């Protein structure tokens, strides 16, 4: 299987399919690169090169004790991009992966990047602070840490409900989507998952967003129960220069699965624009 070895010896797993303009996907927590299967299958069939890696501590990548922080995640993404010598890539990040895309650009610039897409992404910051009164209280994230530590398997099964909006009467979620969420989550490291909670909740990505100088598409569901749109997608679209906000009506956090056809079409149109 293809891996990139980072400076600290971690092995980062990645999938690399097709040829043409590269599209690089960063997944959400607690998933792995397989979360992007609907988009990768579609775009490779449209003649694009698609790449998705598993974040360290997630999926098939190394379960390191150190480096479970966004600085390292962004540098790991850079290692994949540089190993494959990608140019004019479109970076697509979902949820925590949206923070990863923003922080990658904040740390490494856009010399290899042509466009960016943030899908249900956590920036600018999820935590409620004086500067971010619309965020979520720390008790929410402490609850996630507790769930991971006490009974991660059941916690992931329960979390898959609101993640895909399965607790709503108009839900498009299937049992298969929920099962895949659990299965992907359980391939990761409990330590990596626990430490990553801080990175998607307490890290402020505002300065990273300000450094994004390529056309950016912000996609968010207005029924997102995990990363509420008002304190995330709507704010990011205002901060990023050249950003376009597209709101998916009644879409949940896991819209890459529940609204795959709509997202696939939007990604293809943005690639061609």
Share of the chain above pLDDT 90, in %: 98
Handedness of CA 64, 29, 154, 34 (dihedral sign): negative
Q: What is the pLDDT of residue 116?
A: 98
What pLDDT, in 10s, does the model give residues 143-200?
999 999 999 999 999 999 999 999 998 899 999 999 999 999 999 999 999 999 999 9
Residue 267: pLDDT band with limits 50, 70, 90:
very high
CATH superfamily of 3-272: Alpha/Beta hydrolase fold, catalytic domain (3.40.50.1820)
Q: Is the peptide bond before 30 cis (omega within 30 degrees of 0)?
A: yes
Strand order across the 49-53 sheet: 3-5, 11-17, 49-53, 22-26, 89-94, 113-119, 216-221, 243-248
How far is residue 167's CA from residue 188's CA, in Å, rounded to a whole number? 25
Mean pLDDT of 77-91: 98
Residues 63, 189: contact at Cβ < 8 Å? yes
Distances (CA, A) of 253 to 173, 182, 202, 218, 232: 11, 15, 19, 13, 12
Mean pLDDT of 46-72: 98
Positions marked catalytic: 95, 224, 253
Q: What is the pLDDT of residue 250?
A: 96
Query: In the chain, where are the structural domains located?
Result: 3-272
Residue 5: pLDDT band with limits 50, 70, 90:
very high
Q: What is the pLDDT of residue 169?
A: 87
Asked if the model's pLDDT at residue 1 lies above 80, the reply is no
CA nearest neighbour of 80 among 111, 115, 54, 41? 54
What pLDDT, in 10s, does the model give residues 101-146?
999 999 999 999 999 999 999 999 999 999 899 999 999 999 999 9
Q: What is the pLDDT of residue 247?
A: 98
Residue 126 CB burial class (10 angstroms; 0-12, 13-18, ≥19): buried
Q: What is the pLDDT of residue 170?
A: 87
Residues 252, 151: contact at Cβ < 8 Å? no
Handedness of CA 184, 186, 191, 196 (dihedral sign): positive
CA nearest neighbour of 58 among 178, 138, 152, 165? 152
Mean pLDDT of 78-90: 98
How far is residue 140's CA from residue 122's CA, in Å, rounded to a whole number? 14
Mean pLDDT of 9-32: 98
Q: What is the pLDDT of residue 67?
A: 98
What pLDDT, in 10s, does the model give residues 199-238?
999 999 999 999 999 999 999 999 999 999 999 999 999 9
Q: What is the pLDDT of residue 106?
A: 98
């Amino acid at each position: 299987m293809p891996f990139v070895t980072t400076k600290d010896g971690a092995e980062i797993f990645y999938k690399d399919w097709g040829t043409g303009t590269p599209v690089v996907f960063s997944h959400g927590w607690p998933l792995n690169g397989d979360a992007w299967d609907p988009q990768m299958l579609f775009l490779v069939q449209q003649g694009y090169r698609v790449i998705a890696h598993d974040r360290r501590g997630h999926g098939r990548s190394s379960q390191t004790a150190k480096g479970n922080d966004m600085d390292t995640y962004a540098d790991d993404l850079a290692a994949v991009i540089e190993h494959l010598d990608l140019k004019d890539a479109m970076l697509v990040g979902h949820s925590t992966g949206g923070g990863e895309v923003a922080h990658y650009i904040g740390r490494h610039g856009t010399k290899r990047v042509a466009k960016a897409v943030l899908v249900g992404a956590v920036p600018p910051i999820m935590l409620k602070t004086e500067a971010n009164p619309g965020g979520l209280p720390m008790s929410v994230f402490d609850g996630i840490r507790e769930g991971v530590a006490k009974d991660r398997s059941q916690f992931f099964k329960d979390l898959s409900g609101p993640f895909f909006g399965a607790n709503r009467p108009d839900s498009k979620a299937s049992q298969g989507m929920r099962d895949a969420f659990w299965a992907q989550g359980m391939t990761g490291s409990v330590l990596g998952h626990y430490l990553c909670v801080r990175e998607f909740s307490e890290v402020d990505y505002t300065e990273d967003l300000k450094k994004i100088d390529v056309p950016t598409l912000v996609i968010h569901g207005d029924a997102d129960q995990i990363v509420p749109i008002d304190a995330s997608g709507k704010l990011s679209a205002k901060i990023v220069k050249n950003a376009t906000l597209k709101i998916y009506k009644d879409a949940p956090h896991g819209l890459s699965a529940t609204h795959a056809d709509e997202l696939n079409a939007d990604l293809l149109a943005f690639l061609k624009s």
